[in-house]
Amino acid sequence: MVNRQWYVILESNEVMKNRVVSMKRLGKNLIAWRESSGKVNVMGDRCPHMGASLSQASHEGNCITCAFHGLQFAGNGECTAVPALGTAGKIPRALHAQTYPTHEQAGLIWIWFDEAGSQPTSQPEFFEALTDDFSYISFQQPWPIHYSRMAENQLDVMHLPFVHATTIGRSGKKVVDGPVVSVENQRINIWVYNRMEDGSPARRGSEMAQPERHPSLQFQFPNLWHNWISDEIRVSAAFVPVDEDNSIFYGRFYQRMTRLPIVKQLYNWSGKIGSQVIANQDRRIVTRILPSASSLKDGDILLQGDRAIVAYRQMRKDLMEPS
């Protein structure tokens, strides 16, 4: 995993009030819960007293209570009560649950992940083009593969007519001009120019002018992706790492074609089903790639159409091995 990054780990609707949610993310056993104000907290799933699972804790207002010995913890991890010590007893400072900086936006929950324990200096970024006038519907799929492979697959512009021959690749546009790729901070923008075979060789991205239109694809490190299908229809995904060999595909279909409640619901459900079919086509291939995680120098012979994947691998390497 890349340290010092904001990772999407859940959708907001997965963490209800008065519930403690248990999950495995980034190789860690975690819990999430909400205070009475609605603020979400993410903690390690371990009581610092004797290692009991905090996923079994009861939820009371702004605290959770360990099921083993009744120790209470606030959202910042501070132990606020130890029944065995009495209400006047002094609580050892070492009784502090592990916590993760948490951010909630656009119906998503991020945590700041750093094995060294650094604190974030800025908030995570979402795609500003996905404005509030879009409605969306979500779905999830477990993928038995490292999340880096999921990300690369959504940056791959060469596989469409083969993996998706019956869906989004049925036009048969096998020749790839470019793609044109730009990197801004921790965002990769990709302009896709796939076309039919006409006897001319594929053009390199360096031979093409910087487009004036919006990018076809965007990737926000470390695990967010946006497909700008049209001004009115979009697809996004979060590639949520569970551990080194397992991830969860959090997909969303966005649209603002219609706002009539019943029509909107039908349209969104149709988009969700289509997106799931496409994701399943990818899943069948991607989950059998070896090795499970990708790297910049893993022996692959990459082609000019893989420019976005090269950019992703280079950025990931740079973030994992800062100078």
225-275: pLDDT as tens digits: 999 999 999 999 999 999 999 999 999 999 999 888 899 999 999 999 999
SS3 7: strand
Q: Give the C-alpha separation, 62 to 76, whole Å.
A: 10
In a domain, 123, yes or no: no
The verdict on 150 and 33 lying in the same domain is: no
Residue 81 lies in a domain: yes
Q: pLDDT band at 212, cuts 50/70/90?
A: confident
pTM for the predicted model, two decimal places: 0.93
Q: Of 276, 238, 231, which is closest to residue 254 (Cα–Cα)? A: 231
Four-residue CA torsion sign, 67, 73, 79, 80 = negative
Tell me the CA distances in angstroms from 267 to 237, 238, 249, 257, 272, one per residue in order: 19, 22, 21, 9, 9
- pLDDT value at residue 299: 86
Total domains in the fold of the chain: 2
What is the domain range of residue 231? 135-320
Do 152 and 107 fall into the same domain?
A: no
**Residue 165's CATH number:** 3.90.380.10
Is residue 130 situated within a structural domain? no
Percent of the chain topping pLDDT 90: 88
| pLDDT tier at 316, thresholds 50, 70, 90 | very high
161 and 290 inside one domain: yes
Q: Are residues 143 and 96 in the same domain?
A: no
Query: Residue 105 pLDDT more than 80?
Result: yes
Residues 163 and 103 in one domain: no
